[in-house]
Amino acid sequence: MRLRNIPRANDVIAASPLVIQDPKTQRGLWQNVFGNDHPIHIEVGMGKGRFITDLAKKHPEINYIGIERYTSVLLRAVEKLQGKEQPEDGAEQQENTRQDIPENLYFICMDATELPEVFAPEEVDRIYLNFSDPWPKDRHAKRRLPSRQFLARYDQILDKNGTIEFKTDNRGLFDFALEEIEPAGWRLLMHTFDLHADTELMKDNIMTEYEEKFASRGNPICKLIIDRER
């Protein structure tokens, strides 16, 4: 994702009721944040947040937490929901009302390496990884979100019946993920190299920003779902 520094990002995020400001203090207490005991699904590397926001609107019975490392990116998701997005072209933007913000959705600005400090064992029921950065150099493999190093972190927070769902158009990253699964102690439940050609799978598919961009260029979208080996 191309990044430019947006001076107001820190202030907007610090003041946003959508963003959990000190997430480590909620470890083991996330049910209190939502005020219910619904399952918790997280997206790691949510970008501008379209996927997790659409999911939260569609599934009020699930609690969603979107995680993004960069304030300049998270700002886009926050302002979209709070109705204060600055239109790039100077056009006037309608203000959303507070009712447009799903009650089952929060965001966290942090690096995913900190996940085990933010969630207690088994506190998370599903993890979504969408169009994760590929980090093409071998020496950066451990930074890839589906790497065995990250799978070990997800293992620390995911419920024993929990699953991870990963989508990407990057075939190299997808093949890498497929190779990481078994040695890291996970089990492949399903995979496809062309999600958009599968009408059954597409019935429940929620598009991400990157998915829409790359699918419209004709890139096949790969998807896999894993759980722990038993």
Instruction: Give the range of 34-42, 43-51, 117-125, 215-223 binding ligand SAM by CB under 6 A.
Output: 43-51
106 interacts with ligand SAM by CB under 6 A: no
Question: Left (φ > 0), alpha (ψ -120 to 50) or beta: where does 201 sit?
Answer: alpha
Which residue of 72, 147, 170, 208 would you call a contact of ligand SAM, by CB under 6 A?
208
Tell me the CA distances in angstroms from 103 to 98, 107, 127, 193, one per residue in order. Answer: 10, 12, 19, 35
11 interacts with ligand SAM by CB under 6 A: no
Nearer to ligand SAM among residue 104 and residue 130 (C-beta): 130
13 interacts with ligand SAM by CB under 6 A: no
52 interacts with ligand SAM by CB under 6 A: no
User: 3-state SS of the chain?
Assistant: CCCCCCCCHHHHHHHCCCECCCHHHHCCCHHHHHCCCCCEEEEECCCCCHHHHHHHHHCCCCEEEEEECCHHHHHHHHHHHHCCCCCCCCCCCCCCCHHHCCCCEEEEECCHHHHHHHCCCCCEEEEEEECCCCCCCHHHHHHCCCCHHHHHHHHHHEEEEEEEEEEECCHHHHHHHHHHHCCCCEEEEEEECCHHHCHHHHCCCCCCHHHHHHHHCCCCCEEEEEEECC
Catalytic residues: 133
Instruction: Give the range of 21-29, 86-94, 124-132, 198-206 binding ligand SAM by CB under 6 A.
Output: 124-132
135 interacts with ligand SAM by CB under 6 A: no
Nearer to ligand SAM among residue 171 and residue 187 (C-beta): 171
71 interacts with ligand SAM by CB under 6 A: no
153 interacts with ligand SAM by CB under 6 A: no
The strand pairing partners of 127, in sequence order, are 42, 164
46 interacts with ligand SAM by CB under 6 A: yes
Nearer to ligand SAM among residue 163 and residue 208 (C-beta): 208
Residue 52 CB, shortest distance to ligand SAM, in Å, is 9
Nearer to ligand SAM among residue 160 and residue 217 (C-beta): 217
| Residue 85 φ then ψ, to 5° | -60, 135
Instruction: Give the range of 14-22, 28-36, 79-87, 203-211 binding ligand SAM by CB under 6 A.
Output: 203-211
Nearer to ligand SAM among residue 69 and residue 223 (C-beta): 69
20 interacts with ligand SAM by CB under 6 A: no
41 interacts with ligand SAM by CB under 6 A: no
